[in-house]
Every structure is written in C-alpha cells, then in structure tokens.
Amino acid sequence: MSTPTAAPSARRPRRRLPRGLRRAAAALLLATLGAPAAASAAQALPPAPPSVADARDQLAGLHVGYEDNVGYDRSAFTHWVTISGTCDTRETVLKRDGSGVTTDSSCHATSGTWRSVYDDTTFTDSSSLDIDHVVPLAEAWGSGANLWTDAERKAFANDLAVPQLVAVSASSNRSKSDQDPGEWQPPASGWRCEYARSWIEVKYQYDLEVDSREKTALTGMLDADC
C-alpha cells in the first residue's frame, strides 16, 4: 500500500548549504589541487545507495513542492571537469563502471566492456555510452538548484561520491531525458529499486524538493521493486 503524500506547497526559502554540496565542493577543490579523487576507478558501479528502510526515511523527509524549470540553462551546470591527470568526469566514470577498460594518454577509453544497467545491454565501444545524471540537471534546477551558485551547480554535476553519475546506453539516457520517476523508470526492472534509492539519496543529500507525483512514484518503486 502506498503511503499518502503531503500536499505540495510553494517553494521554501533556501536554508543552509546542503550536505551534498559541502562535500562535493570540497572534493572538487582537492581534485583541482591535484589530490586523488575520493571515488576512484576501482569500483564496478556507482556508490551504493541507502538501504530501503533508510531511503523511505529520506523520502519522508523531502519537502513536497511545485517544481519550476523556468530559466533552466544546461550551461549553468559546468561539466565535465578534470578529476585526475588527464581524466575528466566522463572518463573517470567510464573507467569505474567498465570492465577491462584501457585508455590512451588522453584518458579516452580505447577498449573495455560496459553493462548499461538501465536496459541491461552490453557494449564494447564507449562512444555508445552516455554518462547519466540520475537526477537530471533540469530536474535539479526546478527543485532547488536554481538558488545555488555556479560553483555549487558545478560540484553537483560532477559529484562522484553519491550515486548520481552512471554510464548507460545513449539510447536509454536520451529516452529518459529530463524526466523524473513519475514519468520514466529504467526498462530493466531489476535496476528500479537501485534507481529509486539512488534518486532519493541524491535529492536528500542536496536538499532538493520532490513534487507529489514523483514522491508517489518513488514510494511505489520502493514497495514493488525492492
């Protein structure tokens, strides 16, 4: 049974800097100074999302409001940035999410195998992959990121420490576009629980709002897919 959602309210005033931004900004500063990135290429998948129980608690704590994408411009979110050496965020995610990945001197993936978790397809050509923002940039803008500074949006768009960036097929990424879980869910049903928990974690860490349809969809995914 789905949990009733609260009635949406007007956009709340901005509070303290979200926990995710404080951490992501610090990580970007370390990368700029040449320190190793906290999320290295050793992982096979994005950082693990919270447990189902924790995701339910986080979802219950998110503010329900009206999302408004007026004024959104993709260029307001600087990406990609250099993470380490010649590797930018895209290349770092490709190395992290792939198997047997080799790169050239510019850090471009020249070989490897990648499984797109959204549609459970496998690729050996990195040009067939996009790096998806689990919570799309336009969605973030409309649910609170329009109140951030350019530097804060840059940190969000390149955050490797939360389950926000994942290498997926270009076709699934473009099918998703800027839609939230009330409008689009991964075709591969086996990834929907992970997707819902990841979405909730990102919104929680960045203190972003949800709309009522989105919250209902996420509650349903936790109930049906986890």
Cα 195 to Cα 69: distance, rounded to the nearest angstrom: 22
As given in the structure block, the two tokens for residue 98 are 């792939």
User: Is 18 contained in some domain?
Assistant: no
User: Is 1 contained in some domain?
Assistant: no
Alpha helix ranges (H) inside the chain: 19-32, 52-61, 89-97, 137-142, 150-157, 170-176, 192-205, 212-225
User: Is 179 contained in some domain?
Assistant: yes
State the total domains in the chain.
1
User: Is 14 contained in some domain?
Assistant: no
User: Would you give the end-to-end CA distance of the chain in angstroms?
Assistant: 14
- 188-200 per-position pLDDT tens digit: 999 999 999 999 9
User: Is 56 contained in some domain?
Assistant: yes
Is 136 within 8 Å of 178 (Cβ atoms)? yes
Q: How many helices (H) and strands (E) does the chain have?
A: 8, 7
- 145-187 per-position pLDDT tens digit: 999 999 999 999 999 999 999 999 999 999 999 999 999 999 9
User: Is 105 contained in some domain?
Assistant: yes
Instruction: Give the burial class of 73: count Cβ atoms within 10 A of its Cβ; 0-12 exposed, 13-18 middle, 19 or more buried.
Output: exposed
Domain that holds residue 170: 39-225
Q: For residues 49-75, give the mean pLDDT.
A: 95
Is 22 within 8 Å of 159 (Cβ atoms)? no
List all residues 6 or more positions away from 35 whose beta carbon is below 8 Å from its beta carbon: none
User: Is 160 contained in some domain?
Assistant: yes
Rounded to two decimals, what is the model's pTM? 0.84
User: Is 121 contained in some domain?
Assistant: yes
